[in-house]
Chain A
Amino acid sequence: MSARPLDCEEVIERLFEYLDRELDERQIADIEHHLARCRDCFTRAQFETRLRARVSAAGTVTAPPRLHQRIRQLLDRFNDGEANTHH
C-alpha cells in the first residue's frame, strides 16, 4: 500500500496530531513519507519534537521536604489504621 502524497500544508496541519500519536497507521505512513522527502517539514517536526520534550519535562519538579514528611505521616497513619483494623 503506497503512501498518499501530502503537501506541506497538510503535513503541518496534522503535525501535532502526529507527534501526539493521534493518527492511524495509514495517516502516520503518509506523514512519514512526506517528512522523509521534505527538508522544511522534517526540520519543523524536529523542532516541535524537541520543544515538546522540554515541555513534558516541566511535569517533574523536586517535591519539597515538607511534602515528603507529609506523605510519610499520611502513610504511617494509614498503616496504623490498617494494623488496628486487623488486630
Chain B
Amino acid sequence: MPLAHPDTQAPMPLPQATYRGGSGIGMSDRDIDNRQHWFEQRLSPLLDRLYGCALRLTRDPDDAEDIVAEAVGKAWSRLGELRDPQCFDGWLLHILNNVFISEWRRRQCRPQRPATAEDPSPDELDSSTFTLFQQLHQPFLLWWGSLEEQFFNSLLHEDIQQAIDALPDPFRVTMVLVEVQGYSYSEAAHLLGIPLGTVRSRLSRARALLQKTLWEQAGDAGVRPDDGGTGRQRP
C-alpha cells in the first residue's frame, strides 16, 4: 500500500488509462497524452520537496539529482501500480527513499568504507541528553527579550540544513524520514529494515546531536545567556 505523505496535495483524478494497468494494451494516443500531462502536473510542484529530501539524505547535490531522476523514472514506469492518485506525493517520496536506501546499503557493503555511527563517538555520547530548551529557557522575563525568540529569529534555513548534514548517517537518515518527511516510527523501521527500538534510539540521539549543533551555531550568531542577549548581527 502506498504510504500517504502528510503534505499530500488536493486530489486530482488520474486518467482512467492508468487505472487499467499503466501502459496497458489498447491505450490511445489521447490516453498517453493525458497520462503524461497528469504525471507532469503532479511532479512539477513536488520537485523541490523531492530534491530537498534527497539532498538531506545524501548530503551531495549530484547524488541527490541522481536519486531524484531515478525515482522519477521508476515512478513513471510504475504509474500503473499507483492505486490511489491522491497518494501520488507520498508514493513518489517512498520510491525516492527506496532508491536512496538501496544505494546506501550498497555503499555500506563496500569493505573500504569506515564503520559509521551506530556506535557513537564519546563526544556524541556526551551530547545524548543535550536539549536546546534547557540552554535557552529562562523562567523569568528579561528586559532584552526572550533567548528562545532570539534563537528562532537568528536560526537560518541553512543552519538547520548544516546541522542535519552533520549527523552520522544512520541518525540523519532516520531523522529525515520521521521528522522531515513525516513517516511513522514503524514505517521508518520497515523502510530501513531495523527494529522499532532502533528507530527510537536513533531519533533520540539524532535530536540531541542536532540540538547541540544548533546551540553551537547559535553561539556563533551571538545568542548566549551570558552576553546580555545582545546578540551580534550575522554578517
Contacts and interface: CB of A to CB of B under 8 A. Distances in A.
A63 B47 CA distance: 7
Interface in A3-47: 16, 20-22, 40, 43-44, 47
Interface in B22-53: 23, 27, 29, 32, 36, 39-40, 43, 47-53
B69 to A, nearest CB: 6
Interface in A42-87: 43-44, 47-48, 50-52, 54-64, 66-68, 70-71, 74-75, 78-79, 82-83, 85-86
Category for how many chain B residues contact A: 35 or more
A63 B137 CA distance: 36
B56 interface: yes
A59 B204 contact: no
A68 B47 contact: yes
Given A61-B48, A63-B47, A47 B137 contact: yes
Nearest to A66: B65
B69 A71 contact: yes
Contact of A82 (B32, B139, B164, B182): B32
Given A20-B178, A74-B69, A83-B29, A60 B52 contact: yes
Given A21-B184, A71-B43, A85-B23, A58 B133 contact: no
Given A56-B180, A57-B157, A82-B23, A50 B49 contact: no
A54 B185 contact: no
A70 B73 CA distance: 11
Contacts of B211: 51
A28 to B, nearest CB: 15
Interface of A: 16, 20-22, 40, 43-44, 47-48, 50-52, 54-64, 66-68, 70-71, 74-75, 78-79, 82-83, 85-86
